[in-house]
Amino acid sequence: WDKVKRSLLPTPLRFHYIFNMRDLSRVFQGIMECPVDIVKDENTLVALWKHENTRVFSDKLCREQDKSFIDKTIAEFLPQHFGETLAADNKELTWFSDFQREVEFDPETGEDIGAPKIYEPAYSWEHVSGKAYEYLKKYNEQYPSKCMNLVLFDEAMMHLMKINRTIQQKRGSAMLVGVGGSGKQS
């Protein structure tokens, strides 16, 4: 956090490059979202820590070189503080999300009570993509006049998971920036 705060200073074009204690607390808030029974070993905890740091610090950056600086800083930090073995095991980023579980039904009434929101490592990209298409299909059936025919390619799925994580957090907010016609409304 301190290295990021000192290195990535705000400029007129990157006025939102402000890092404070709130960002650090969001890392821990994200870690606390994951239930204890999901974090079964230290490898999962380090993967979660890396994911949350990447989400909090890298997602607000707009330049690729700044995002790679965050990745490099995390890669330097891992072996120093978690050891070589855990650093090697967590070289690749593990994504976490809370929309992977199946819908549950009330045993007494048989009503659909929805899927539990459990923040856990992504099972696979195919599973996450399938869930996203499932929710999109439900939305289109529920609101036929506002039907969205979207193609959720891998990069779109990554953005969807980032936005979902941000919205699910307490007092979570995001600013979408882009030119007209780039899909900000859908």
Share of the chain above pLDDT 70, in %: 95
Instruction: Specify the 3-state DSSP secondary structure of 100.
Output: coil
Question: Does the pLDDT at position 186 exceed 60?
Answer: no
Of 47-51, 58-62, 116-120, the poorest mean pLDDT is in 58-62
Instruction: Specify the 3-state DSSP secondary structure of 134.
Output: helix
> What band does 2 get if pLDDT is binned at 50, 70 and 90?
confident
∠ CA 38-41-44, rounded to 5°: 65
CA distances from 20 to 17, 25, 161 (A): 10, 9, 24
pTM of the prediction? 0.82
Question: Does the pLDDT at position 182 exceed 80?
Answer: no
